[in-house]
Amino acid sequence: MEYLLLVISAVFVNNFVLSRFLGICPVLGVSKKISTATGMCGAVIFVMTVASAVTWGLQKYLLEPFGLDKFLQTLSFILVIASLVQLIDIVMKRFAPPLHAALGIFLPLITTNCAVLGVAVINMKEGFGFFKSTLFGFAAALGFSLALIIFTGLREKIDRAAPPRCFKGVAIALVTAGLLSLAFMGFNGLVK
Amino acid sequence: MDNIILEALLWIGLIGLISGIALAVAAKYLAVKEDPRIAAINDLLPGANCGGCGYAGCADYARAIAEGQAEINLCTPGGLACMSNIAAYLGVAATAAKKKSALVLCCGDNDKSKKRFAYNGISDCAAAHATAGGDKSCTWGCLGYGSCARVCPVDAITIENGLARVNKELCIACGKCVAICPRRIIKMVPVAANIHVLCSSPDKGPLVKQACSTGCIGCRLCVKFGDEGAFVMDGFLAKVDYSIPVTKEEVIEKCPSKCIQRN
């Protein structure tokens, strides 16, 4: 039950994009076509889950014992996540070419994107255990994917409609994002 | 104080060093051995990634060429120069493909073919076409909502007075507009050909006249006055046989509805 609530909280109530406002850049950047959006979602889910697991280990076994967690957290997280994603990219290219073809171009794009770093920092702040951290990373990425796919669907429809000329493009996209965020505010209070 | 800074430097340096070594080792030992020809051919291709060759981008086409699955003359943007470069690199004979460009087979703009009703749905040709057969009087002609212009990767298509026009200098013949046009009136024609019948209506003369002032009415004058076999009748619609070069340009004057035009 506790885990279920954690997932619901990360996906709906404290959605990374729409209520924490993390990872806005890829949401605005790759939300023009459903096919690229789903590729991005796959990469984000993958990276955020792995990053949560690895940074937990880093924090627990390196930063905390040596008393470095107060001021080296952000720097070391960025360093480790970035090189890990690069490593996965290389390994994937060798051993899973189809997966690499699907996720490959998105992996470098989100190395230590703010949502990825955000999930790691939140994990440490909340003091989650290893499993809980990983689950939270996965759920947060699911929430990100949900927001991205809904937003992409809306943008595809808006592209075919005729908004006033001054609203065309990014302007109407930002208005849409704001409305979507408002809609997700409705989940507030569902889970503490 | 010094101690903490030193310690922090040390740890970050260590983490960086370990990650760096891991990456270097991985890059060295897990590198995927690719056919070196793929990269070389990819460099010879224009890199437009238009998909006109039928492959997902230039890199994919280069791979297909290297594996011997594709002809080397499929790249339209690169043209002859690109093909002969690849031919020279691979040591095979180059067989030229005729350079083509897209052409909208309609010349009935908003003045020549009036609207039947006011359409204010979404600005998309497929949607307009699905709404009671489109708002244009001619149910075969260009709707002018610009689906082709939006899909064109090189912005070669412009909409002028409700009619799509292809700039054949810019066109790379990728065929995306041909596929998206709901009325199927965009065709690939040889760039060398410069006289076309710009109408797609197979209706009989009186019906065409009602719908558009410049539609082909099937009078056969072009067949009569044009070069032998250059114009052929398909029912009530004249078409150009592009295998025969048109020399008698007076057909442009002869055509009573002025739908034979230079392009």
pLDDT above 70: residue B141 = yes
Chain A contacts of B11, Cβ < 8 Å?
62, 66, 68, 72, 76
Is A68's CB within 8 Å of B8's CB?
yes
Instruction: Say whether residue A32 is in contact with chain B using an 8 A CB cutoff.
Output: no
For residue A2, the Cα-to-chain-centroid distance in whole angstroms is: 22
Q: Give chain B positions within 8 Å (CB) of A160.
A: 122-124, 127
Interface contact A72, partner B, CB < 8 A: yes
In 3D space, the residue among B249, B193, B201, B202 whose CA is nearest the CA of residue B222 turns out to be B249
The mean pLDDT of B96-103, rounded to a whole number, is 78
**Torsion sign, CA atoms B56, B62, B68, B72:** positive
Which amino acid, one-letter code, is at A102? A
Q: What is the pLDDT, as a whole number, of residue A162?
A: 77
Residues of B in contact with A68 (CB under 8 A): 7-8, 11
Q: Is B244 exposed, middle or buried (0-12, 13-18, 19+ CB in 10 A)?
A: middle
Residue A62 has pLDDT above 60, yes or no: yes
pLDDT interval class at B1 (50, 70, 90)? low
Mean pLDDT in residue range B82-98: 78
Q: How far is B27 from chain A (nearest CA, A)?
A: 7
Q: What is the pLDDT of residue B94?
A: 67
Paired with B189 in beta bridges are B101
Contact (Cβ atoms closer than 8 angstroms) between residue B67 and residue A128: no
pLDDT class of A65 with cuts at 50, 70, 90 = confident
A76 touches chain B (CB under 8 A): yes
Interface test with B, best of A80, A81, A90, A112 (most B CBs within 10 A): A90
Question: What pLDDT is attached to residue B21?
Answer: 93
Residue of B7, B23, B123 to mutate, testing the A interface (most A Cβ within 10 Å of its Cβ): B23
Per-residue pLDDT at B96:
64
Rounded Cα distance between B106 and B166, Å, is 11
pLDDT of residue B62: 87
Please report residues of B whose CB lies closer than 8 A to that of A72.
8, 11-12
Taking residues B188-196, report their average pLDDT: 87
Q: Does A87 touch chain B (CB under 8 A)?
A: yes
A71 contacts B11? CB cut-off 8 A = no
Q: Which residue of B has its CA nearest to A62?
A: B11
Whether the pTM exceeds 0.80: the reply is no
pLDDT of residue B104: 93
- Residue in A31, A7, A36, A15 with CA at minimum distance from that of residue A131: A7
User: For A63-92, what is the mean pLDDT?
Assistant: 85
The pLDDT of residue A132: 93
Which pLDDT value is given to residue A144? 94
Q: Where are the domains of chain A?
A: 23-185
Domain boundaries of chain B, sorted by first residue: 36-90, 100-262
Residue B16 is nearest to which of A79, A87, A91, comparing CB atoms?
A79
Query: CB distance from A75 to chain B under 8 Å?
Result: yes
**pLDDT at A41 exceeding the cut of 80:** yes
Here the ipTM equals 0.72
- Residue from B62, B69, B58 nearest B89 by CA: B62
Rounded average pLDDT over A106-121: 84
- Is A70 an interface residue toward B (CB < 8 Å)? no
Of A8-12, A164-168, B73-77, B122-126, least confident by mean pLDDT is: B73-77
On chain A, the residues whose CB falls within 8 A of the CB of B22 are: 83, 87
Select the more confidently predicted residue: B245 or B202. B202
Residue A138 scores a pLDDT above 90:
yes
Residues with Cβ within 8 Å of residue B136, at least 6 apart in sequence: B108, B113, B115, B116, B142, B143, B144, B162, B211
In B, which residues are within 8 Å of A90 by CB distance? 23, 26-27, 30-31
- CATH class assigned to B36-90: mainly alpha
**Fold matches, B36-90 and B100-262:** no
- Tell me which CATH code domain B100-262 carries: 3.30.70.20
First to last CA, chain A: 14
Is residue A109 scored above 70 in pLDDT? yes
Q: How far is B173 from chain A (nearest CA, A)?
A: 24
Please tell me the distance in Å from A75's CA to the nearest CA on chain B.
8
